Amino acid sequence: MALQLNSITFDHDPTQSATSALNIRRNKDFEVPIPEYDVTQPRAPTQQSAAYAIDATRGQAVIVRCVFQRAPADGPQWHVRATGGGVLGRLDPQAVTFTGAAVVVTVDMPLVHRRFAAVGRHLPVWHWEYRPSGSSSWQPLVATFHCIYLLQSVPAQPWTQTFADRHNPWTDLLDHSCVIADGTTQEMDAAIAHVKAINASYGLRYDIVSGAPRYGFVLTGDAFDLTDWIAFVLNGNPPGSPIFCQGTGEAYLDFEIVNCYDCAASLTLMGKSVGARLDYYFHEPFGFLNFVIPIGRGQCNNPFYGCTGNDPIRGVDDATRTRFGNHAYTKLAGQNNFDACMKQWLSWLSEIILSVIMFLLWLIILIVTFGTVNRFDLLARAQGWLVNLQQPAYEQITIDTNTPAEAAAAGGSPVVQVLDFRVT
Amino acid sequence: MEKILRVRIAPVPVSTEEVSEDLVLSPGAPGPLAGFQVDYEAVTLIETPLTVRRQMHLFDSSETLRLVLALCLSGPTAAREYLIRISGFQREPSPDAIQELDLRPGAAGFCWSWDADGSSAYAAFARHNLVASLEGRLSTVRAIARAIDDSVRGVKTIPTMQAGPGTNPQRLGPVAPGARLDLPTTDIPNTQLFFVGSGGAVNRDPAQAGRYYYRAGLQRGLQKLEAFRVGRGLLPVRTPIEIKIA
């Protein structure tokens, strides 16, 4: 072959994320190799990965850095281009000029036709072509395969863009979070998508004995066990034992049992990984519950009914029922609440009525704003999802304060916690 | 809840000693866990507070037991904090349900049952810089906590300030910013290796199982790492490493 594409580097400048891909890694143990494409090290497309922040790259001259090689006897002037490319777009023809006796040259190729519009995980292919200067005939060079993650913005702490840091965003997580939030352009929509996924897509169930966490984060100073969360929950490979509530009708794999700390911490980390500004809040005391649906369970106002209790529902205002001593949930940009740990319980009649009201409200807002404001959260609310709720509304839905005893058990307020995850 | 637990353990003075001998509690072998078999076991290193944690799920013919043993390398005060921290649940026992554990002087602990018949209970204690938490039947967690505490009392200790990573670091480098530096440390069977450090990241080598390398960050200067090798117990072999990025 006359011309060879040696490498493509997407993360060519580890100090900024406007014209370069983000600093990412596979997980706590393994880096994403750079250059992402290296002709000497054939890898699966999913291991030739790069991530971009849509906000940070908007209007910027994003480039990929390519290294080409010629045979010594070949001429110095060439042109290269690439077709295809999916969200990366095609690469316009560009001169490749070797100076003097050099056989290797580095060329920056701008991504002028990129389509960084919405969160997603993509597997684009570039079909590279070349022609010697003076020739009008393009020859096939090589096809390169890539895995590109598009995030709404640069993931905030505990994720970091400091180069060579194990808190760089993990592709093992982006493989899930970018798919969950696929197509979203607003952080609220990404947050709602994650609430629904965590609550309903992984067979997780609330710990009805003690409300104990399985994945390590409670308060500032703790670290969420993200590695286990990815392996056991997102990838669906929990250990076959131990068994929670073994020998009873409530027997399930222990690592599929969670509490609200687990839900809030995972929601925060996963949401942040795609650029949604979610934060973890701890609320103590919380109190007696109105009728809710804890994750993976049914209608309930007595959350700790035990392995054999079989009484998740007790009389309204029954003071003997169990309660949440504390609770954890998330807020988006420090404002409204998003809770993946439970849903509002709605009777079939109230669900129909709420659905009609919310649909009309959603439609009116959409029409009045000429389609620019899509209050998708209203439709989710009609299904009982606890999303985009102001604090008073959230507490009104979830906390029962009807009687003096119930009111006395409540009264806490949410306090933001500094979330971290284990990288050792 | 946190305040109640702090009040509970406050009368026990904080130890000035920490464990200097490895404590191996093997299910099936003679000792506190003799009657049990392992269902699940995992060892992790927690950075805050710096702690080696061994989590075990055990079973015998009639019951299951969830056990966490944690050695706080920052000392007994950090162990007290860790004891409180790991005893947090969304469900809270009523204050009068919290009982003393039948431990010998020097250990701070508590237990409670989630239900009236004692079939689901929690116990936790700290002695020196070791913390244990147990979940299972009330009578079992009380008995096993006592037996584990007796084992802890039998291991050697040293004054707190004498422990630490050691004073003769392994010096490596120099390495250029962003470059790779292979580490001499490798995996050894039946041990687990953890790294804590700054100024870059320790990574596994995908091409050579069991090998590690350091990816230097962009900041020049002397960076400190520490390798923690944990065997069948809790006490790690600590190897301080200094890497010059230049």
Q: For the segment B101-145, what is each residue's pLDDT rounded down to a tens digit?
A: 989 999 999 999 999 889 999 999 999 999 999 999 999 999 999
Q: Note whether A233 and A202 are within 8 A (CB).
A: yes
Following CA atoms B110, B114, B115, B118 in sequence, which dihedral angle do they give, to the nearest 10 degrees?
Answer: -40
A191 and A122 belong to one structural domain: no
Long-range contact set of residues B43-47: C-beta below 8 Å, sequence gap at least 24: B43/B192, B43/B230, B44/A225, B44/A422, B44/A424, B44/B194, B45/A424, B45/B194, B45/B196, B45/B228, B45/B230, B45/B236, B46/A223, B46/A422, B46/A424, B46/B70, B47/A223, B47/A422, B47/A423, B47/A424, B47/B196
Closest-CA residue of chain B to A224: B46
> Cα separation of A83 and A92, whole Å?
8
A103: tokens are 């056989």
**Helix extents (H) in A169-328:** 171-180, 187-200, 226-228, 260-273, 306-309
- 8 Å CB contact of A306 and B120: yes
Q: Note whether A257 and A207 are within 8 A (CB).
A: yes
Element containing residue A378 per DSSP (H, E): helix A376-382
Instruction: With a cut of 80, say whether residue B166 has pLDDT above it.
Output: no
What is the residue range of A124's domain?
3-151
What is the reported pLDDT for B173? Answer: 86
Residues in chain A: 424
Q: Which of B39, B89, B217 sits opposite A164 (nearest CB)?
A: B217
Is residue A244 one of the residues assigned to a domain? yes
Q: Which of A163, A221, A306 sits opposite B178 (nearest CB)?
A: A163
Instruction: With a cut of 90, say whether residue B62 has pLDDT above it.
Output: no
Q: Note whether B88 and A325 are within 8 A (CB).
A: no
Is residue A368 one of the residues assigned to a domain? no
The alpha-carbon radius of gyration of chain A (Å, integer) is: 26
Neighbours of A380 (CB within 10 A): 21
Q: Note whether A296 and A183 are within 8 A (CB).
A: no
Rounded mean pLDDT of B16-35?
A: 88
What is the reported pLDDT for B31? Answer: 81
A246 and A195 belong to one structural domain: yes
Residues in A 270-289 with any Cβ partner in B closer than 8 A: 284
Q: What separation, in Å, do the N-terminal and C-terminal C-alpha atoms of chain B show?
A: 50
pTM greater than 0.90: yes
Rounded mean pLDDT of B25-51?
A: 90
A139 and A195 belong to one structural domain: no
Q: Does B176 touch chain A (CB under 8 A)?
A: no
A171 phi and psi, to 5 degrees? -70, -30
- 8 Å CB contact of B194 and A322: no
> Helix A187-200 and helix A171-180: axis angle, to 10°?
100
Instruction: With a cut of 90, say whether residue B164 has pLDDT above it.
Output: no
- 8 Å CB contact of A242 and B206: no
Is residue A167 one of the residues assigned to a domain? no
A298: tokens are 């049914």
A207 and A60 belong to one structural domain: no
> Cα separation of B126 and B134, whole Å?
12
Give residues with Cβ within 8 angstroms of A420, minimum separation 6. A158, A217, A222, A223, A224, B48
Rounded mean pLDDT of B174-187?
A: 93
Angle in degrees, CA A171, A34, A1, rounded to 5:
120
Rounded to a whole number of angstroms, the distance from the CA of A203 to the nearest CA of chain B is 20
Which residue has 């129909």 as its token pair?
A352
Q: Does A166 touch chain B (CB under 8 A)?
A: yes
Chain A residues inside the 8 Å CB shell of B91: 209-211, 303-304, 322, 324-325
What is the reported pLDDT for B162? Answer: 61
For B229, counting Cβ atoms within 10 Å of its Cβ (0-12 exposed, 13-18 middle, 19+ buried), the class is middle
Chain B residues inside the 8 Å CB shell of A31: 201, 203, 215
Rounded to a whole number of angstroms, the distance from the CA of A327 to the nearest CA of chain B is 6
The distance of Cα B148 from the centroid of its chain, to the nearest Å, equals 14
Of A107, A131, A151, which residue is a domain's last? A151
A199 and A91 belong to one structural domain: no
What is the reported pLDDT for B161? Answer: 65
Q: Does A265 touch chain B (CB under 8 A)?
A: no
Coil vs helix vs strand at A229: helix
A394 and A323 belong to one structural domain: yes
Neighbours of A62 (CB within 10 A): 22
A220 and A326 belong to one structural domain: yes
B49: tokens are 């507070």
Tens digits of pLDDT across chain A (424 residues): 589 999 999 999 999 999 999 999 999 999 999 999 999 999 999 999 999 999 999 999 999 999 999 999 899 999 999 999 999 999 999 999 999 999 999 999 999 999 999 999 999 999 999 999 889 999 999 999 999 999 999 999 999 999 999 999 999 999 999 999 999 999 999 999 999 999 999 999 999 999 999 999 999 999 999 999 999 999 999 999 889 998 899 999 999 999 999 999 999 999 999 999 999 999 999 999 999 999 999 999 999 999 998 899 999 999 999 999 999 999 999 999 999 999 999 999 999 999 999 999 999 999 999 998 889 899 999 999 999 999 999 999 999 999 999 999 999 999 999 999 999 9
Is residue A158 one of the residues assigned to a domain? no
Q: If you average pLDDT over every residue of chain B, what do you get?
A: 92
> Helix A171-180 and helix A260-273: axis angle, to 10°?
90
Q: C-alpha distances in angstroms, A10 versus A4, A84, A215, B87, B218?
A: 18, 17, 34, 46, 18
A99 and A235 belong to one structural domain: no
Q: Which of A209, A324, A424 sits opposite B194 (nearest CB)?
A: A424
The b/e string for A392-417 (b: 16+ C-beta within 10 A; e otherwise) is eebbebbbbbeeeebeebbebebeeb
Is residue A237 one of the residues assigned to a domain? yes
The one-letter amino acid code at A201 reads S
A224 and A309 belong to one structural domain: yes
- 8 Å CB contact of B178 and A164: yes
Interface pTM, i.e. ipTM: 0.95
A336 and A190 belong to one structural domain: yes
A302 and A409 belong to one structural domain: yes
Nearest C-alpha neighbor of A87 from the set A123, A140, A135, A131: A123
Q: Does A324 touch chain B (CB under 8 A)?
A: yes
Closest-CA residue of chain A to B194: A424
Nearest C-alpha neighbor of B31 from the set B231, B192, B233: B233
What is the reported pLDDT for B26? Answer: 84
> Cα separation of B167 and B183, whole Å?
19
What is the reported pLDDT for A332? Answer: 98
Chain A residues inside the 8 Å CB shell of B60: none
A359: tokens are 């649909």
Domains in chain B (CATH in brackets) are 2-161 (3.40.1000.20), 170-245 (2.60.40.10)
Out of A207-216, B154-163, B212-221, least confident range: B154-163
> Cα separation of B107 and B128, whole Å?
8
Nearest C-alpha neighbor of A14 from the set A32, A41, A38: A32
What is the reported pLDDT for B110? Answer: 97
> Cα separation of B202 and A29, whole Å?
8
Nearest C-alpha neighbor of A253 from the set A301, A302, A207, A312: A207
Of A151, A168, A200, which residue is a domain's last? A151
Nearest C-alpha neighbor of A66 from the set A109, A113, A102, A124: A109
A201 and A147 belong to one structural domain: no
Per cent of chain B over pLDDT 90 is 78
Coil vs helix vs strand at A283: strand
Is residue A280 one of the residues assigned to a domain? yes
Q: C-alpha distances in angstroms, A221 versus A211, A216, B46, B227?
A: 20, 11, 10, 21
What is the reported pLDDT for A309? Answer: 83
Instruction: With a cut of 60, say whether residue B10 has pLDDT above it.
Output: yes
Of the pLDDT bands very low, low, confident and very high (cuts 50, 70, 90), residue B163 is: low
Strand partners for B192: B230
Rounded to a whole number of angstroms, the distance from the CA of B45 to the nearest CA of chain A is 6
Mutation target vs A (from B60, B62, B91, B117; most A CBs, 10 A cutoff): B91
- 8 Å CB contact of A209 and B114: yes
Of the pLDDT bands very low, low, confident and very high (cuts 50, 70, 90), residue B83 is: very high
Cis before A35 (ω within 30) = yes
Say which DSSP state B135 is in: E
Q: Is A61 left (phi over 0), alpha (psi -120 to 50) or beta?
A: beta
Element containing residue A377 per DSSP (H, E): helix A376-382
The distance of Cα B68 from the centroid of its chain, to the nearest Å, equals 8
Is residue A352 one of the residues assigned to a domain? no
Q: Which of B64, B196, B216 sits opposite A424 (nearest CB)?
A: B196
Nearest C-alpha neighbor of A166 from the set B178, B201, B158, B28: B201
Chain B residues inside the 8 Å CB shell of A257: none
For chain A, the domain total comes to: 2
- 8 Å CB contact of A211 and B204: no
Is residue A170 one of the residues assigned to a domain? no
